[in-house]
């Protein structure tokens, strides 16, 4: 079985998941989405970063042309997975997969938010020190810095171990 891992990643979080999959799956080829050149495969591992509650646009566009394949999806998001946010992301991502494919697994976890965002939040807080939403965002920023964590990668490996070889 030829396994193709295609991913989009701006800051490395999703790339780390893609590399973890590559280490755990035999007969696999790993390609950043921008370098995909019609490589053939039996099973696709497609990785995305979350952009406004949906997979990044290049992944959405890529999925439109995939038919009759087994697909394992994976993604990273800036938000914590508390409160079921990950389930919303998964649902949105899966809605982009043409129906003749079979989704065989889906993993999402938090990824480190860009440090520029911290500066933005801190500036906002200076102007509005009692704004609770900004404090929540800052807390989430701090939480995001330890992700994808070792436990996240272990959980991903656990999902991969359920797949046929």
Ligand X SMILES: Cc1cc2nc3c(=O)[nH]c(=O)nc-3n(C[C@H](O)[C@H](O)[C@H](O)COP(=O)(O)O)c2cc1C
Considering only residues 94 through 113, tell me which ones interact with ligand X, judged by CB under 6 A: 111, 113
> Does residue number 9 form part of the binding site for ligand X (CB under 6 A)?
yes
Other C-beta atoms lying within 10 Å of the C-beta of residue 121: 21
Distance of CA 164 to the CA centre of its chain: 22
Q: Are 86 and 48 in contact (CB under 8 A)?
A: no
The dihedral through the CA atoms of 17, 43, 26, 87 has a sign that is positive
Q: Are 96 and 62 in contact (CB under 8 A)?
A: no
> Does residue number 14 form part of the binding site for ligand X (CB under 6 A)?
yes
Beta strands 43-51; 54-55: pairing state: antiparallel
Candidates 44, 77, 108, 153: give the one binding ligand X (CB under 6 A): 77
> Does residue number 34 form part of the binding site for ligand X (CB under 6 A)?
no
Distance, CA of 83 to CA of 116 (rounded, Å): 25
Q: Are 19 and 28 in contact (CB under 8 A)?
A: no
Considering only residues 44 through 73, tell me which ones interact with ligand X, judged by CB under 6 A: 49-53
> Does residue number 76 form part of the binding site for ligand X (CB under 6 A)?
yes
> Does residue number 156 form part of the binding site for ligand X (CB under 6 A)?
no
Q: Tell me how far, at minimum, the Cβ of 68 lies from ligand X, in Å.
A: 28
Whose Cβ is closer to ligand X: residue 51's or residue 159's? 51
Q: Tell me how far, at minimum, the Cβ of 30 lies from ligand X, in Å.
A: 14
The residue of the chain with the least Cβ separation from ligand X equals: 111
Candidates 10, 29, 120, 136: give the one binding ligand X (CB under 6 A): 10
């Amino acid at each position: 079985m030829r396994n193709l891992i295609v991913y989009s990643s701006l800051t490395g979080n999703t790339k780390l998941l893609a590399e973890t999959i590559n280490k755990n799956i035999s007969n696999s080829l790993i390609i950043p989405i921008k370098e995909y050149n019609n490589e053939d495969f039996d099973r696709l591992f497609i990785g995305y970063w979350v952009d406004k509650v949906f997979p990044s646009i290049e992944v959405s566009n890529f999925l439109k042309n995939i038919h009759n394949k087994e697909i394992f999806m994976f993604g990273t998001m800036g938000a914590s997975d508390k409160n079921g946010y990950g389930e919303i992301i998964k649902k949105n991502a899966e809605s982009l997969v043409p129906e003749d494919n079979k989704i065989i697994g889906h993993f999402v976890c938090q990824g480190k938010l860009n440090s520029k965002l911290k500066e933005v939040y801190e500036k906002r807080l200076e102007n509005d020190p009692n704004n609770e939403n900004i404090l929540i965002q800052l807390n989430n920023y701090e939480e995001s810095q330890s992700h994808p964590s070792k436990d996240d990668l272990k959980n991903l490996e656990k999902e991969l171990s359920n797949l046929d070889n």
